[in-house]
Amino acid sequence: LCFRRYLLMSLTSCLFWNTFDFSAAVDSKPNILLFLADDLGIGDIGCYGNNSIRTPNIDRLAREGVKLTQHIAAASLCTPSRAAFLTGRYPIRSGMASSNRYRALQWNAGSGGLPANETTFARLLQQQGYTTGLIGKWHQGVNCEFFNDHCHHPLSHGFDYFYGMPLTLRNNCQKNTPPDLDAALQDKLWLYSQIITLAVLTLTAGKLTGLISTRWKIIACVTLVGGLFFISWYSSYGFVQYWNCILMRNHDVTEQPMRLERTAFLMLKEAISFIKRNRHGPFLLFVSFLHVHTPLFTTAKFLGKSRHGLYGDNVEEMDWMVGKILDVLDKEDLKNHTFTYFASDHGGHLEAQNGSAQLGGWNGIYKGGKGMGGWEGGIRVPGIFRWPGVLPAGTVIDEPTSLMDIYPTVVHLAGGILPHDRVIDGRNLMPLLQGRAQKSDHEFLFHYCGSYLHAVRWHQKDSGAIWKAHFVTPVFHPPGAGACYGKKNCPCFGEGVTHHNPPLLFDLSRDPSEARPLSADTEPLFDTVIRKIGRAIEEHRRTLTPVPEQLSVYNMVWKPWLQPCCGTFPFCWCDKEGDSTQIL
């Protein structure tokens, strides 16, 4: 009897360890640590094939966990991609997809942002007893009607603590760097202002010399109109550094404008402090890096250290920050009890250049980049998971997955329940990550550029084929360049795109670089695949409901009454951080 009982216990124990008893893991509610880089290309880190930029800490995550090779962002620009990440839903469902040329939030004092009726994974984890924190970039809006209503703020979307930048880095945040916020529009406004000034001077000189017969009242009116025109636009674009480049702690502005030379240290200090404060858990920490978005401000410790210029320096600094945060997990004995994830919000920015110097990322073998809704280079990103003892180390998975999958995955880990009153497009990844499932739950993924559907991916599970049909593609400039050089990003509509009928079709399982489009002559299944994808689009569109467009032109406009300000508007400047740049 004793022997039989011993044998039964041994078999049960063996079964437990071989299958990573997930019910016990769920009961323990692991800490959740999410790293999200900004504009990082899939080819920029060592474990995805880069040999010129050193990323030992991110590579360590991949060695100790699971690496995804077909991890897809729901959008190719920051605001919509992050909205999808936070909600598990395509951004078109929440109104975070744009039908105009403004595809990401432009101002802290705009009125658009993540709607209050959207439920983030932070909110659901908060309900499960998690302490939730966001350190870094938000870019989902701040206010709706007043400067302190904070309707779009992280604390209104399930985060208990926020320290970081409510918008995003821009060249305007760094002195002596060409501005990139509506640069073409600013040039036009300057030109119009100069024309009005020249007209006033000409009229005045003509009046004084008697060459022009006009009334002083007319000259005064032209001067007044010109002055009001100049003030109307320069009050916003002339002070971008003060309006947009700010740091907040919860609802309070702590730096206005921010001092970039110490921002990385402050972000790291805040992330480490959050982990230490909440080491008894469970906690959710979302570390949303400002790296590696232009202007690529990098501290002196890392300048000139990489073999890939300023961009490589910035990537290596971010990797160092990842390592410091992982070290804290080790020191606090939290490594084995923390579900860790690393990804980028979309592909690298190919058009980011300064002369001949490339300031954007590398997307490996994949065509296109940031801003391109369909091509792989804009949406295929790194995806790495680690949870020692639960996820098998050193695993590589080549199945279609999405950043939207993080939503149901972390809600599942926390023991929460997904909302039943809306469509959730993400899928729980745990069966795939643990090896309990061999195929992704995604059959179709829809690739939007703003609110325009550019491409669709079909995962034909019985054959292993990954079909991708492009209905719209950007027109590269110059032709064949692979990007829209001379513009900030490729457009989604208008003369800057080409519509394809029949669509361009690729089998990514055989042609991941999308170099050889198929046709009815070269692919026997061409018509069948196109019909199947067409029916999927019809079904997908039936699940969409009209919602207010958060990225409308009106919502994008700078509104002074919505401006976060640490003083009395317009006297908005402060530094509540002192000179503290020393960490630990």
> Which residues have a catalytic role annotated?
78, 139
User: 10 Å Cβ neighbour count for 148?
Assistant: 11
Question: Distance from first CA to last CA of the chain, Å, rounded?
Answer: 58
Please return the burial class of 85, using the count of CB atoms within 10 Å of its CB with bins 0-12, 13-18 and 19+.
buried
* Residue among 15, 351, 417, 7 nearest 171 (CA): 351
561 secondary structure, DSSP code: G
* Residue among 361, 409, 395 nearest 381 (CA): 361
Largest Cα separation within the chain, whole Å, is: 121
**Residue 465: beta bridge partners?**
460
**Residue 449: beta bridge partners?**
452
Q: What angle do CA 90, 92, 97 make, to 5 degrees?
A: 115
Coil, helix or strand at residue 527: helix
On the question of a cis peptide bond just before residue 166, with omega within 30 degrees of 0, the verdict is: no
Residue 44, CA distances (Å) to 316, 369, 371, 488 in order = 10, 13, 18, 21
Backbone CA torsion sign across 445, 448, 452, 457: negative
- Residues, the chain: 584
- Token pair recorded at residue 55: 């990323």
* Cβ-Cβ contacts under 8 Å for 452 (sequence gap 6 or more): 99, 373, 472, 492, 493
**Residue 248: beta bridge partners?**
164, 253
> Helix-strand-coil percent breakdown of the chain, rounded to 5?
35, 20, 45
* Residue among 130, 107, 111 nearest 120 (CA): 130
- Token pair recorded at residue 165: 């930048």
* Residue among 466, 430, 525, 555 nearest 79 (CA): 555
